[in-house]
Amino acid sequence: MMEEVKEVVSALSVHGHNIKIPEVVTDGDTLTFLVVSQKLSGTGEYHVYRTWDDFEWLQQHLFSQEDVPGIQGIIFPPLPAKAHVNPSAKVMKQLGFLGLGEWQPYCKALETFLQQVATHKILSKNKAVEVFLTSSDAPGRQKVKKNIFNRLSQAVEEMRKEGHKDVDEFFQSERDHNLVLTGCSKTAAEKFLDVVLTEQKVAVACGHFSAALHLCVEAGEDPDKKAFSRLCVKISEVFDSMKKNVTSVAENNMKTLGLGLDLESRYQEAEREMLFRRTCKLVELENAKRNAEKAKPVKKAVMEEVKTATETEFQQICGVSKQEISRFQGVRVKMLQQALVQWCEKQLLTAKESADQFNQHLQAFRGMA
């Protein structure tokens, strides 16, 4: 086991944008992921095996950097929910697209998480990132201390602060915009998932009907029976092609736009959490100002120090968060654009292949006439 990781500045020794998770291994109820990173030196690759608990360990280390100025202003890359070998209906609903396709979408989501962390100018400096990507040993299982994010995000009484009026029009506008986009992106992902699940059901039904048609095939020399049997076989082939077509369409939807919408939804939620942390600090600052104004002479100096320290923290958070929002807007547009382009390219290719296949079936039917 590794020793406790100290958060210190550390340059990564791998290419952050090219991290891959090509394989997932099932061991009982545990999923283990192979993480492959290319060395900056160009001399090879790091191959390490990580469980979801290891990913959570990394995320907690990133959260607990309270000594980093403005850390609460970061839009942390969202870590997917924990996957299970035999997930319940509740877990499958929570995972959405990431629970489909033999875990390929889930691996892709973990890849994106690691790439976003490793290419982030602040988060990539945390030594835990280097340890996670390069050490052959599993990270320590020690409990990371509860930090500011746990306290702010999980406290029910803090939720009332979400509606607190902002003093900065930029952030008030961003909060309003994010509130709408969070709901819309979640709904879009859920509706598109319904489409894919329905396509999968249609594909299964086509396969069943294709197989059932073979039950109608009869042996014998009777001309009518022979003709009917040939027809059943041909129709069966058509439905088998339909099954393959719908299966491909569903897979294309899942691997392109489905993953894109899922990531968009989770990132909007991550921005919402960042904006909430900043709002909480704003409320804290306003309280500190009031306390300093009302303080009796004997406590005035102490209250003024608290106000100044809180004001400094708030300004640092605002500075980091404005940069994060600007970066986030660019990244989310690029990712959604990429997902849409890949979606169109994949579906066009599938449509052309299917059209050729159905044309062959049509010519075969004409030959039977």
The residue range of the domain holding 178 is 159-368
Q: How far is CA 263 from the centre of its chain?
A: 4
**198 and 280 co-located in one domain:** yes
Q: What pLDDT was estimated at residue 160?
A: 67
What is the CA 212 to chain-centroid distance, rounded? 40
CB of 95 within 8 A of CB of 81? yes
Residues 345 and 217 in one domain: yes
| Rounded Cα gap, residues 322 and 134, in angstroms | 32
**For 3-26, what is each residue's pLDDT tens digit?**
444 444 446 999 999 999 999 998
- CATH number at 119 reads 3.30.1520.10
Task: Point out the domain boundary residue: 113, 145, 177.
Answer: 145
Look at residue 154 and tell me if it is in a domain.
Answer: no
**Same domain, yes or no, for 65 and 166?**
no
Residue 36 inside a domain? The answer is yes
Provide φ and ψ at 221, rounded to 5°. -100, 0
Under 8 Å between Cβ of 84 and 91: yes
The reply to whether 151 falls in a domain is no
Q: Within this chain, do residues 213 and 96 fall inside the same structural domain, yes or no? A: no
Residue 1 included in any domain: no
Are residues 107 and 185 both part of a single domain? no
Regions of the chain where pLDDT drops below 50: 1-10, 151-152
**pLDDT for residue 178:** 95
In whole angstroms, give the CA distance from residue 169 to residue 367.
71
Long-range contacts of 165-169 (CB under 8 A, 24+ apart): 166/279, 166/282, 167/282, 168/318
The tokens describing 181, both together, are: 């986009």
CB of 176 closer than 8 Å to CB of 327: no
Query: Is residue 242 in some structural domain?
Result: yes
Judge whether 3 lies within some domain. Answer: no
Which among 85, 112, 145 is the end of a domain? 145
What is the number of structural domains in the chain? 2
Q: In what order do the strands lie in the sheet with 30-38?
A: 20-27, 30-38, 45-51
Tell me the C-alpha distance between 139 and 120, whole Å: 21
pLDDT of residue 11: 67
Do residues 61 and 91 both lie within one domain?
yes
Each as own residue / partner, the long-range contacts of residues 198-201 (CB below 8 Å, 24 or more positions apart, any chain) are 199/246, 199/247, 199/249, 199/250, 199/253, 200/246, 200/247, 200/250
Query: Are 91 and 175 part of one and the same domain?
Result: no
Same domain, 180 and 329: yes
Asked if residue 223 and residue 84 are part of one domain, the reply reads no
Calculate the CA 107 to chain-centre distance: 10
Angle at 94 between CA 96 and CA 171, to 5 degrees: 95
In whole angstroms, give the CA distance from residue 296 to residue 305. 14
User: Is 4 contained in some domain?
Assistant: no
Per residue in 127-153, pLDDT (tens digit) is: 999 999 999 887 765 555 555 555 445
Residue 343 amino acid letter: W
* 345 located within any domain: yes
Indicate if 54 and 89 belong to the same structural domain: yes
Terminal alpha carbon distance of the chain = 73
Q: Are residues 126 and 182 in the same domain?
A: no
* DSSP 8-class letter at 103: G
Q: Which of 100, 121, 145 is the last residue of a domain?
A: 145
Q: Which helix (H) or strand (E) holds 95?
A: helix 89-95
Triad 105, 327, 168: Cα angle to 5°: 125
CA nearest neighbour of 12 among 40, 46, 35: 40
Q: Are 139 and 191 found together in one domain? A: no
**Which domain CATH number covers 286?**
1.20.1270.60
What is the rounded CA–CA span in Å between residue 138 and residue 49? Answer: 8
User: Of 155, 144, 157, 6, which is closest to residue 63 (Cα–Cα)?
Assistant: 144
How many CB atoms sit inside 10 A of residue 25's CB? 11
Rg value, the chain, Cα: 27
Distance CA 266, CA 262 (A): 6
